[in-house]
A and B are shown apart, each in its own frame.
Chain A
Amino acid sequence: MSVDSSVQGIFAAFEAAAENPLASSRAWKAANGTPVVGSFPMHFPGELAHAAGCLPVILQENHEPITVGHGMIYPFYCGYTRSVVDQACKGDFDFLDAIMFGDHCVQVLGAADVVRAKLPNTRVHFYQLISSMSDPWSHSRARETFAGLKEGLEEMIGRTIDNDAIRASIRLFNRNRQLLRKLYDMRRSGTSPLTARQMQLAVKSSMVMDKAAHSALLERLIERLEATAATRQRGVRVYLSGHFCQAPKLGILDLIESCGGIVVDDDLYHGQRYISTDVDDAGDPLDALAKWYLERNLKVPCPTRVDQNADWETYLLGAMAKSKADGMIVLMAKFCEPHMYYYPEIKEAFEAKDVPHLLIETEHETTALEGIRTRVEAFLEMVKRQTIAKAAAAARLETGVV
């Protein structure tokens, strides 16, 4: 694929892959003869599929209205699961050589069942990863599951996957993680004020593109961004949180920034969670992947996993302080049970610490953004006016003038 190597050209390539992931992976398969393995986001170790000579592609919610899939899944399931089912019913996944589903939540479980029933000729491998992360047996159970995935892939390609090949794939994936982390760091520190849209396109494309090709683009992008002087940003520094399995709609990210918010950091969907931790590239690769799976959750907690040593609200408060954010906007995909379960604790913690935050529920069908605009604007006004008033009160205290 030849890509215009300007910043704009690179983002155009990211956008093409991120917004049309099935078309781009189908084209990759046609050009390279690579089998394509679809998966749910977050916990699937793409390294194994890559080492098997496949292109791992994380299935995405698309922008199409849900039609034929509507009768196959409850309307009170999240937009991601409903969209995945709809795509399966419409035949969009027919070109996939295999789909590897995990049981992240009850809705994902339901969606996997429908996809399996709808695609009888596609190899569907279902795996259950231990979700209790701090038990003495957590590591061995996670390793067992990954070993099962490896076996499934080996069965598909008709040969064993070499440990050296897995280690090579781990190094390739780690490189991609490091480059994305660098991009997050650049945005957080303001050395390159990337928009929320740009960050999302970079991350989302990494979920569906060949890792080597994606990393090559990221390297060029970072080089070019580093050569460009950063401009001063005005506005309320916002931390975005939530929206686990699917990327939020770009329109919502644009809206937040057009209202005067600057998104300085986020823990949205796959993003920081997936890239926060590198996989050990020496030793037994399955051990390394199991260790990565467990350790990653301590860095950026996932509400579908249970770990006595992880606390999401404490993580969020720390992440906000680290990115010097003035407020947090929580984007919650409607009917996302794990998020709904944790949100009251987050709300309580943020209120106790007097940290401004706003909850916005999103839907697959969200089209009218005006109501959301009013809430985001009001939130940013609130943060701005509070900051000014507190600074004035502090100045009065300092000068003794009341």
Chain B
Amino acid sequence: MKPYVMGIDFGSTTSKTVILDMDGGTVASAVSHKGSVSDEGAKASIAEALAIAGITQKQVIRAISTGYGRRMLEVSDKSYTEITCHARGAIAMVPEARMVIDIGGQDSKVIAIDALGLVSQFAMNDRCAAGTGKFLEALARAVGVPLEDMGPMALRAVEDITISSMCATFAETEVVALLAEGKSKTEVLGAVHAAIAARLVGLVSRVGKREPLVMTGGVAQNPAAVHHLEKALGLKLIIPQRPQIAGALGAALIALDEAREHAADAADEDDKVDASLDAARCGTPTCTAPQARVTEQVIHGPRPH
């Protein structure tokens, strides 16, 4: 039975799965849209990828998960953050990349890559949905345009309108006010995309602009978002084919690294804090660590409510 590795990007709005053979060749990839952190969505993308590859889960010798729901998947052997996985995936897609912008559903990230192809710095949006896919989604709804149509429509905007609010809720109020002033949907959508680009410029400046700059994530497929980002950053973005699967591809490549280098055990070992030893040194009387199973990560202190 031929072995394979799998990467699953369990995102907040979509789930992506990539299956690689042991030479690193992509044998299948699948994207599933099933709503917020949907277990059903993750399962659907895994099932679809397995079907495309024509293999069973048993042939997957190592699976790595990433994304918002990364710790919720039973099929996964280990999880890594989106930062690590998107960087790994983007470097595989564009080896010369020195910076990655990923706009996901719940968060946007700017990642600096060093000469070894590793993450050297990163910045994430830390204020609610500002500058994320959710921001676009909320404003598409406010304007009354389907999400997939908003990009092409926004590209036709000619006026220079500014939406200044960072918060999606306040921005929505601004959008409604602009529509009430008689601005066309096209113009308002242009302003929405310029606003998201402005948020990203802030994140880029925290890390320091570097080129070549690759954009990954679902929003990279939106031509207006790309146009406004390029305009705001004053450079040309590299958009890989299927930017949405970069995270899942990165996860699969890490799975491949660990499977090849027999590093899986060591990597797993890192995650297994010996509960009994660890609990013994915790003096907090309300600590729930002593009740943890041996292989569980120990979190000291009372269980959060």
Residues of A participating in the B interface, judged by any CB pair closer than 8 Å: 7-12, 14-15, 192-195, 197-198, 201, 228, 231, 234-235, 250-251, 254-255, 257-258, 260, 351, 361, 370-371, 374-375, 377-379, 381-382, 384-386, 389, 393
Contact = CB atoms under 8 A, between A and B. Distances in A.
13 contacts: A194-B281, A231-B274, A235-B270, A250-B301, A258-B298, A258-B299, A370-B68, A371-B124, A378-B82, A378-B84, A378-B119, A385-B84, A389-B116
A382 B119 contact: yes
A377 B81 contact: yes
Interface stretch (B47-55, B167-175, B238-246, B282-290): B282-290
Given A258-B297, A382-B83, A15 B284 contact: yes
Given A11-B282, A382-B120, 17 more contacts: A8-B285, A197-B282, A197-B300, A197-B301, A201-B283, A231-B274, A251-B301, A257-B300, A258-B297, A370-B68, A371-B107, A371-B126, A378-B83, A378-B122, A381-B83, A385-B118, A386-B120
A233 B60 CA distance: 32
The 10 residue pairs across chains A and B that have the minimum distance between CB atoms: A11-B283, A378-B83, A378-B81, A12-B285, A258-B299, A382-B119, A381-B84, A377-B81, A8-B283, A7-B283
B198 to A, nearest CB: 20
Contacts of B39: none
A8 B270 CA distance: 26
A361 B118 CA distance: 25
Contact of A381 (B81, B114, B121): B81
Range of interface residues on B (Cβ < 8 Å): 35 or more
B284 A361 contact: no
A254 B304 CA distance: 11
A99 B83 CA distance: 47
B271 interface: yes
Interface in B97-120: 107, 114, 116, 118-120
B282 A195 contact: yes
Given A254-B299, A381-B81, A234 B124 contact: no
Interface in B111-145: 114, 116, 118-122, 124, 126
Mostly helix, strand, loop or mixed at chain B's interface?
A: loop
B285 A15 contact: yes
Contacts, number: 104
A367 to B, nearest CB: 9
B283 A12 contact: yes
B258 to A, nearest CB: 11
A374 B81 contact: yes
Contacts of B297: 258
B167 to A, nearest CB: 14
A340 to B, nearest CB: 14
Contact of B118 (A7, A251, A389): A389
Interface of B: 68, 80-84, 107, 114, 116, 118-122, 124, 126, 269-271, 273-274, 277-278, 281-286, 297-301, 304
Contacts of B285: 8-9, 11-12, 15
Given A197-B300, A257-B300, A386-B120, A231 B284 contact: no
Contacts of B116: 386, 389, 393
Contacts of B82: 374, 378
Contacts of B300: 195, 197, 254, 257-258
B182 to A, nearest CB: 35
Contact of A385 (B119, B277, B278, B286): B119
A195 B298 CA distance: 12
A11 B281 CA distance: 11
Given A8-B285, A11-B283, A260 B270 contact: yes
A370 B128 CA distance: 12
A290 B297 CA distance: 47
Contacts of B298: 258
A234 B284 contact: no
A276 to B, nearest CB: 24
Contacts of A192: 281
Nearest to A373: B81
A381 B271 CA distance: 12
A254 B107 CA distance: 23
A351 B121 CA distance: 9
A14 B83 CA distance: 38
Contacts of A377: 80-81
Given A254-B301, A382-B84, A389-B116, A374 B283 contact: no
A152 B271 CA distance: 55
Nearest to B122: A378
A228 B120 CA distance: 39
Contact of A260 (B121, B271, B286, B301): B271
B286 to A, nearest CB: 8
Contacts of A384: 270
A178 B14 CA distance: 55
